[in-house]
Chain A
């Protein structure tokens, strides 16, 4: 994860006079290149080992295991047989996989072109004090991001249900007492409530990310621009937006990583239905593994998911790297 997002100043003042830069890639300190005396090496090991051990045992070892199991027909019991890439080939010829990918794609789209720009605009409004009651709006819009997926899924399951909140509101406005909302029964549209929920839930996080970074804007630059006759449009388009380009890119990386991760809401809200039309790859994997006990196949889906998100993030990072370099020159 390269690049600076924001300093921890909002968590409390940094202990030294300088603001803390966030980690920039692998280079933590120039001093990393040297090695410490033996006593210091023991301290290093003592401090680092517990975290690394738990992490490696619970996350890395299972991932490697998945990689191996994905090449077998393991079904939870009995001995696995090596079957090469059969699971992968089978997955790529399965229409459910492609529906899952389509829906994951839509989730990426709503994150990149919904949550992020909206989050930026809301942060900009609050940072520039374009309206009154900034703090109030900030607090309200951030709140949904703390809710648990189960809570959100249950709540919005009722909101979008055939005779749920939206149906009844529409019904009472149009005087159709029996109005029912059939979005959950539509092949192509069943994913839409989920996309709306994602927009509702997570835009606040992007607002908070942009707000933290906007607060680092050099105030003198703004004041100077105003003295030179800049209006609000100029400030937005020529000072603030160019400054936030790296943040947009990092937000995009988070959005992609997140888009492939979450599926709990969908699991409870639609369970991928009707039949499989609202599934996403995470859910597809869980169902194959725990409903059909196709451990090998499920592992193959897990591998594809991880490869997809790493691939997209690498593309974005290289774009980010080039853009940042261009801005620095």
Chain B
């Protein structure tokens, strides 16, 4: 592509640009490449040197990590929590955002600010009362007891994204449908939802990613191994196999694999989600 406003780039600036990019790229790639090849290295080679390139490549670490870490059920749980949460968050956030932006109401400013306050609240600051409440309701250590907080902690940001998008749908379309006799529910379902496909993708990808990497909540709310997730399983595996880098690294790659796939196919949507107002970091 052509460079717009094509100036002469001062040498110092160009040098600084290469240094910054080069440094950051190396800084990013080096640990990840090291992680990758070490996970394919036999244990006895790792003991000799943790930096050397593998001599005999092996998948043994992956086989062992998958079995020892009992990743099959951890994966099913992670997928279940992430998918269910994503579907519910998409539906609830679009509904609320549509009402906030397109149905006039004097309550909207209050509710909207109320919802945005959630961006400041962390899992950790609410975990104790959630634990107490779930204990009282008897849903601690159950799947539903994990999914409900997951929805709540992702809803604020999803509404923020959805409201920004739906606001841009022109009011004329909605007014025209109202004149034709359509109610808001009908407009929402047959006009706004189909038009919102781009933001639905963004919210879905973003929520899925957030659920997949979540750790504190499941760790605190589950004592039963059968409802734990990949992240919690991985952190517990660490305790058992702390000196066995090969297993550990293979397990890390396994836990990260779905996000890598997400990254390859949906990087643009993820970037859009972050740039529309991330509070991570």
Residues of chain A at the chain B interface (Cβ within 8 Å) = 1, 5-8, 10-23, 26-29, 31-36, 39-41, 43-44, 46-48, 50-52, 54-63, 65-66, 69, 111, 115, 118, 121-122, 125, 128-131, 137, 139-151, 154-156, 158-159, 164-165, 168-169, 172, 198, 200, 202-203, 205-206, 208-209, 211-213, 219, 222-223, 225-226, 230-233, 235-236, 250, 254-255, 257-264, 268, 282, 285-286, 289-290, 295, 298-299, 302, 305-306, 309-310, 313
Whether B28 lies near A129 (C-beta < 8 A) is: no
The residues of A that contact B280 with a CB separation of less than 8 Å are: 145, 202, 205, 254, 258, 262
Chain B residues numbered 263-281 whose CB sits less than 8 Å from any CB in chain A? 263, 267-281
The residues of A that contact B34 with a CB separation of less than 8 Å are: 165
Other-chain residue from B93, B163, B168 in contact with A14 (beta carbon distance below 8 A): B168
Instruction: Looking at the assembled complex, report how far the CB atom of B119 sits from the nearest CB atom of chain A, in whole angstroms.
Output: 7
A44 CA / B107 CA spacing, docked (Å): 10
A310 CA / B165 CA spacing, docked (Å): 27
Per-residue CB proximity of B235-257 to A under 8 Å, as 1/0? 10010000001001100100110
Question: Which residue of chain A has its CB nearest to the CB of B161?
Answer: A8
B71 on interface, CB distance cutoff 8 Å:
no
The residues of B that contact A31 with a CB separation of less than 8 Å are: 104
Q: A44-B184, A141-B25 are in contact. Are A33 and B271 (CB under 8 A)?
A: no
Supply 8 further A-B pairs (C-beta < 8 A) apart from A8-B199, A222-B5, A223-B5.
A13-B198, A46-B95, A56-B114, A62-B130, A159-B31, A212-B271, A235-B7, A298-B128
Whether B125 lies near A8 (C-beta < 8 A) is: no
Whether A16 lies near B271 (C-beta < 8 A) is: no
The residues of A that contact B101 with a CB separation of less than 8 Å are: 28-29
The residues of A that contact B155 with a CB separation of less than 8 Å are: 51, 54-55
B169 on interface, CB distance cutoff 8 Å:
yes
Question: Which residue of chain A has its CB nearest to the CB of B4?
Answer: A219
Whether A48 lies near B14 (C-beta < 8 A) is: no
The residues of B that contact A6 with a CB separation of less than 8 Å are: 275-276
A261 CA / B18 CA spacing, docked (Å): 33
Question: Which residue of chain A has its CB nearest to the CB of B96?
Answer: A51
Whether A131 lies near B18 (C-beta < 8 A) is: yes
Instruction: Looking at the assembled complex, report how far the CB atom of A126 sits from the nearest CB atom of chain B, in whole angstroms.
Output: 8
Whether B170 lies near A16 (C-beta < 8 A) is: yes
Whether B50 lies near A1 (C-beta < 8 A) is: no
Chain B residues numbered 163-202 whose CB sits less than 8 Å from any CB in chain A? 163-165, 167-170, 183-185, 188, 195-199, 201-202
B63 on interface, CB distance cutoff 8 Å:
no
Would you list the 6 A-B pairs with minimal beta carbon distance, nearest first? A12-B198, A20-B168, A62-B129, A58-B152, A258-B281, A148-B213
Other-chain residue from B24, B126, B168, B231 in contact with A148 (beta carbon distance below 8 A): B231
Whether A52 lies near B161 (C-beta < 8 A) is: no
A306 CA / B117 CA spacing, docked (Å): 11
Q: A146-B262, A230-B7, A259-B281 are in contact. Are A65 and B167 (CB under 8 A)?
A: no
Other-chain residue from A19, A69, A125 in contact with B129 (beta carbon distance below 8 A): A69
Interface bracket on B: 35 or more
B201, B234, B277 pick with most chain A CB within 10 angstroms: B277
Q: A58-B126, A137-B21 are in contact. Are A156 and B164 (CB under 8 A)?
A: no
The residues of B that contact A148 with a CB separation of less than 8 Å are: 212-213, 215, 231, 255-256, 259
Q: A59-B121, A257-B119 are in contact. Are A140 and B29 (CB under 8 A)?
A: yes
Other-chain residue from A39, A58, A208, A310 in contact with B275 (beta carbon distance below 8 A): A208
A19 CA / B32 CA spacing, docked (Å): 38
7 contacts between A and B (CB under 8 A): A28-B167, A47-B95, A57-B152, A125-B21, A144-B32, A254-B281, A286-B124
Q: A28-B101, A51-B96 are in contact. Are A145 and B4 (CB under 8 A)?
A: no
The residues of B that contact A310 with a CB separation of less than 8 Å are: 120
The residues of A that contact B103 with a CB separation of less than 8 Å are: 36, 40, 43-44, 47
Whether A48 lies near B100 (C-beta < 8 A) is: yes
Other-chain residue from A147, A155, A305 in contact with B125 (beta carbon distance below 8 A): A305
Q: A202-B281, A257-B119 are in contact. Are A59 and B153 (CB under 8 A)?
A: yes
Whether B25 lies near A137 (C-beta < 8 A) is: yes
A10 CA / B275 CA spacing, docked (Å): 9
Whether A32 lies near B108 (C-beta < 8 A) is: yes
Other-chain residue from B9, B96, B129, B275 in contact with A61 (beta carbon distance below 8 A): B129
A56 CA / B116 CA spacing, docked (Å): 12
Other-chain residue from B160, B167, B275 in contact with A29 (beta carbon distance below 8 A): B167
Instruction: Looking at the assembled complex, report how far the CB atom of A199 sits from the nearest CB atom of chain B, in whole angstroms.
Output: 9
Q: A33-B106, A148-B259, A264-B215 are in contact. Are A232 and B13 (CB under 8 A)?
A: yes
The residues of B that contact A222 with a CB separation of less than 8 Å are: 4-5
Other-chain residue from B8, B95, B109, B274 in contact with A145 (beta carbon distance below 8 A): B274
The residues of B that contact A44 with a CB separation of less than 8 Å are: 99, 103, 105, 184
The residues of B that contact A137 with a CB separation of less than 8 Å are: 21, 24-25
Question: Which residue of chain A has its CB nearest to the CB of B168?
Answer: A20
B138 on interface, CB distance cutoff 8 Å:
no
The residues of A that contact B212 with a CB separation of less than 8 Å are: 148
Whether A52 lies near B111 (C-beta < 8 A) is: yes
A91 CA / B56 CA spacing, docked (Å): 55
Question: Which residue of chain A has its CB nearest to the CB of B26?
Answer: A140
Whether A48 lies near B168 (C-beta < 8 A) is: no
Other-chain residue from A51, A118, A168, A254 in contact with B279 (beta carbon distance below 8 A): A254
Instruction: Looking at the assembled complex, report how far the CB atom of B148 sits from the nearest CB atom of chain A, in whole angstroms.
Output: 6
A68 CA / B8 CA spacing, docked (Å): 63
Instruction: Looking at the assembled complex, report how far the CB atom of B34 sits from the nearest CB atom of chain A, in whole angstroms.
Output: 6
Q: A11-B272, A148-B213 are in contact. Are A118 and B20 (CB under 8 A)?
A: yes
